[in-house]
Structure 1
Amino acid sequence: MLQPINPDHPEPRKIARAIDLIQKGEVIGYPTDTVYGFGCDLMNKAAIERVYQIKGMRQNKNLAFICPDLSDIARYAIVENQAYRILKRFLPGPYTFILPATREVPKYVHLKQKTVGIRVPNHPVALALVRALGRPLISTTAAPPGEDPIIDPGEIDDRFPGLALVLDAGTGGAVPTTVIDLSQGDVQIVRQGAGPTDDLV
């Protein structure tokens, strides 16, 4: 179901409706500062399995998740001083940072690697969702595996009938996040995306 939402000042009742669905184990589509994503509760294993099913993605692929701010990241990832300085410079923004997972992260999310991909997007709707939920929200690009991100929320709603709701904040971006691995103590650019990396290396 498509639900128009104000991209700059998301209506609280629309956020509350989305959160109600997420808390019931549903998967939604929502905008970020890069592309539209699929989201569910990080702590709901059945919902995460549904994300893989809806997207048609193999379960050996890690999923990233959204935190509302830097202080929240430390609950779910081990952040050394150098990594913290980088996060502080680049977040919120169009980046996913890979970091060592803490015990707060369910094992079914970090799989064998014991690392997590964490985002703090610069988008009012995504931040309103994760703040209202009170814990991280899964974030994976709204696209079938190997295809470009879908920029039209109406098309997302049509192509993925397993979604309980798609928050329509207008046309989304076509370039996903830049993925940066900080888990080994140095800076490794895994994927060049929307976020510039000139100042990183």
Structure 2
Amino acid sequence: MARYLDVHPDNPQPRAIAQVVAMLDDGALVAYPTDSGYALGCRMDNRDGTERIRRLRNLGDKHHFTLVCADFAQLGHFVMVDNSAFRAIKAATPGPYTFILRATSEVPRRLAHPKKRTVGVRIPEDAVAQAIVAALGEPILSSSLIMPGSSEAMTDGWQIKEDLDHLVDAVVDGGERGSEPTTVVDVSDGVPEVVRVGAGDPSRFE
């Protein structure tokens, strides 16, 4: 049975955030809110958590996992950003965008695309997600909570608790969120390519 934590959407309680971080450090898979629906998250070194996400979402080995980062400085440790991409990404963050970039050696090989060595990164504009990743001190390995057969992320913490009670270890309920997933932009070859139109305005990359 998943642990349920009700947190304030704009001013998340430090004690609740500390409990979430302790669970992540303990190997938990959690559902938590972002600025584009809820996401599944675990620590980067959590192999079991990664495989649970794959099974829950029915993902193949070419799926781009996302490293949810606290800020641009943290993001720069895990992906290679050239000067042209730097300006575009900096201007769009924080916000509902996921950027696909070449991974640095800091990213475990199993998390990157098997051929391209790329990984997704994002900086959410969401107080709860920001509080968790800042307290964790490293990116959260994440994937949008889009169930097989659906094109939209789950939006309600209590509904997630009801539906996934025995599939995740904790649900962080920060209130209802929009269902539109992030806009995904592949910048791995230096030229931005919008590969999924979502909540973020794609026109700045077209």
CA distance in 1, matches of 2:169, 2:125: 24
- Alignment partner, residue 91 of structure 1: 93
Alignment deviations for residues 3-48 of structure 1 (CA, whole Å, 9 cap, x no partner): 1100111101101111111111110010001110011001222221
Kindly state the Cα deviation for residue 138 of structure 1 after the two structures are TM-superposed.
1.5
Q: Compute the RMSD of aligned alpha carbons.
A: 1.2
What's 2:17 paired with?
15
- The one-character-per-residue Cα deviations of 1:142-197 (angstroms, maximum 9, x if unpaired) are 12123132212112112222211111111111100000000011010000000002
Which moved further from structure 2: 102-111 or 59-68?
59-68
User: How many residues in Structure 1 have an aligned counterpart in Structure 2?
Assistant: 201
Matched, 1:128 2:127: no
User: How far, CA to CA, are the matches of 1:121 and 1:199 in structure 2?
Assistant: 18
Q: Percent identity?
A: 36
Runs of 4+ with deviation above 2 angstroms: 53-60
**In structure 1, distance between residues paired with 2:113 and 2:41:** 18
Mapped pair 1:144 → 2:147:
yes
Asked if 1:175 is matched to 2:180, the reply is yes
**TM-score of the superposition, structure 2-length normalised?**
0.93
**Residue 159 of structure 1 aligns to which amino acid in structure 2?**
D
CA 1:17 to 1:146, structure 2 compared with 1: closer, same or farther past 3 Å?
Answer: same
1:58 is matched with 60
For structure 2, which runs of at least 5 residues remain unmatched after alignment?
none
Q: Which moved more, 1:155-164 or 1:53-62?
A: 53-62
CA contact under 8 A between 1:100 and 1:116: conserved in structure 2? yes
Moved more, 158-167 or 23-32: 158-167
User: Are 1:193 and 2:198 counterparts?
Assistant: yes
TM-score (norm 1): 0.95
8 Å CA contact 1:57, 1:144 repeated in 2: no
Instruction: Answer yes or no: is the 8 Å Cα contact 1:142–1:156 preserved in 2.
Output: no
Cα distance in structure 2, aligned partners of 1:77 and 1:199: 21
More deviation in 124-133 or 145-154? 145-154
Inter-partner Cα distance in structure 2 for 1:101 and 1:199:
23
Q: Output the CA distance in 2 between the equivalents of 1:21 and 1:57.
A: 24
69-78 or 42-51, which deviates more: 42-51
